[in-house]
């Protein structure tokens, strides 16, 4: 079997295992009353079990354990990512079941990010391709913490419609796997590919109409792992890996930042639950969950593909860099523009 065939078999296996685990979780969480009940802030109209992200956590953890057992030299960097990620998953699962305070969950996110950064070191620069390196200097530590904590919470905030978190996690993880494979870092590429495959497996039951939600345990784990996993790469590979991850995560990053600043400007309580994200407003204005997920996932997949392309063929570097800039700017115009158009079509009485 070719190397490509082995990779395909690996990914397909994680898809089927995650799908089977997710299906089992539908019955298990429902029987224990771990469900989301529709309210004034939700985008759904019927009660749905949550916690399906446990399937992703289980598959990725098992794969990391297998990789560490087969390649003992990878144990330390992978453990430095996975142990804090599991701590985030545990507190998030407790929040899914019992509802914890935002302060406690955020404290765990920060502590986990500090642990990863202290153990593996901060990201000191990011490769901007033909535009040159972006060096962080003394701000490397704080910016690395902001990246990890920010993406963890961005995934949590954005997990509000069927499929959106799963398809974005799949695109980001696939991009990270491709970067790691391009640098010959199979010990990172395999867990990243497992996250992509398990996200796809989860989507088989989370696509509209969703039979189960990811829950905080899945969204926070995905966000944290996707932000921290590039730090497990050798130092000379991190700048490219972080650039790819940031480009793929751009729809989530922009929506989160845009919504936060918009609510702050309006004097709203920015830390209270709401339905003001662009993706939520699109659904309220009449877009289907499926269409919104395709929009965000498509942008993420395009960004990851274009960002990875120069690593496989340096000749396309300048064209790819220009395409990335266009995509980033277009996203900043497209998402607010689409929601403005959609809301104008909604009768005033229906709003």
Residues with Cβ < 8 Å from 70, sequence gap 6 or more?
none
Residue ranges of domains in the chain: 3-249
**pLDDT band, residue 279 (cuts 50/70/90):** very high
What pLDDT does 350 receive? 47
SS3 at position 101? coil
**307-333 per-position pLDDT tens digit:** 999 998 999 999 999 999 999 999 999
Residue 300: phi and psi, rounded to 5, are: -65, -45
- Distance, in Å, from the CA atom of 278 to the CA atom of 213, rounded to the nearest integer, reads 20
Q: Are 300 and 168 in contact (CB under 8 A)?
A: yes
Kindly tell me if the per-residue pLDDT of 4 is higher than 80: no
Q: In the numeric block, which tokens belong to residue 180? A: 């790691």
Picking from 258, 249, 266, the residue whose alpha carbon sits closest to that of residue 328 is 249
Q: Are 172 and 249 in contact (CB under 8 A)?
A: yes
- Distance, in Å, from the CA atom of 85 to the CA atom of 121, rounded to the nearest integer, reads 16
- Distance, in Å, from the CA atom of 301 to the CA atom of 184, rounded to the nearest integer, reads 22
SS3 at position 321? helix
Alpha-carbon distance values, 323 to 237, 304, 320 (Å): 22, 11, 5
Kindly tell me if the per-residue pLDDT of 201 is higher than 90: yes
pTM: 0.95
Strands (E), 76-183: 125-127, 133-135
Query: Per-residue pLDDT averaged across 249-265, rounded?
Result: 96
Residues with Cβ < 8 Å from 223, sequence gap 6 or more?
151, 152, 153, 154, 155, 156
What pLDDT does 347 receive? 74
């Amino acid at each position: 079997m070719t190397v490509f065939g082995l990779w395909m078999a690996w990914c397909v296996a994680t898809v089927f295992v995650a799908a089977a685990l997710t299906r089992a979780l539908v019955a298990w969480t429902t029987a224990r009353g771990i469900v989301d009940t529709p309210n004034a802030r939700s985008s759904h109209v019927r009660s749905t079990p949550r916690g399906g992200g446990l399937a992703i956590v289980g598959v990725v953890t098992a794969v990391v354990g297998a990789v560490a057992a087969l390649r003992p030299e990878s144990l330390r960097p992978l453990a430095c990512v996975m142990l804090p990620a599991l701590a985030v998953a545990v507190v998030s699962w407790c929040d899914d079941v019992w509802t914890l305070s935002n302060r406690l969950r955020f404290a765990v996110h920060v502590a986990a990010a500090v642990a990863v950064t202290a153990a593996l070191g901060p990201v000191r620069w990011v490769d901007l391709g033909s535009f040159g390196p972006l060096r962080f200097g003394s701000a490397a530590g704080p910016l690395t913490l902001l990246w990890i904590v920010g993406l963890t919470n961005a995934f949590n905030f954005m997990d509000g419609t069927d499929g959106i978190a799963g398809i974005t996690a799949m695109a980001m993880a696939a991009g990270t796997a491709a970067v790691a494979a391009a640098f010959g870092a199979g010990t990172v590429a395999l867990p990243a590919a497992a996250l992509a495959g398990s996200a796809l497996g989860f989507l088989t039951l989370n696509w509209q109409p969703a039979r189960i939600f990811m829950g905080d345990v899945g969204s926070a784990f995905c966000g944290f792992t996707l932000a921290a996993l590039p730090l497990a790469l050798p130092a000379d590979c991190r700048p490219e890996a972080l650039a790819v991850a940031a480009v793929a995560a751009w729809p989530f990053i922009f929506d989160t930042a845009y919504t936060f600043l918009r609510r702050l400007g309006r004097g709203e309580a920015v830390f209270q639950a709401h339905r003001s994200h662009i993706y939520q407003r699109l659904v309220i204005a009449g877009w289907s969950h499926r269409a919104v997920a395709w929009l965000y996932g498509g942008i993420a997949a395009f960004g990851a593909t274009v960002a990875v392309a120069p690593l496989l063929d340096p000749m396309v570097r300048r064209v790819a860099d220009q395409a990335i800039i266009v995509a980033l700017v277009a996203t900043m115009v497209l998402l607010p523009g689409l929601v403005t158009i959609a809301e104008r079509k909604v009768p005033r009485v229906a709003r």
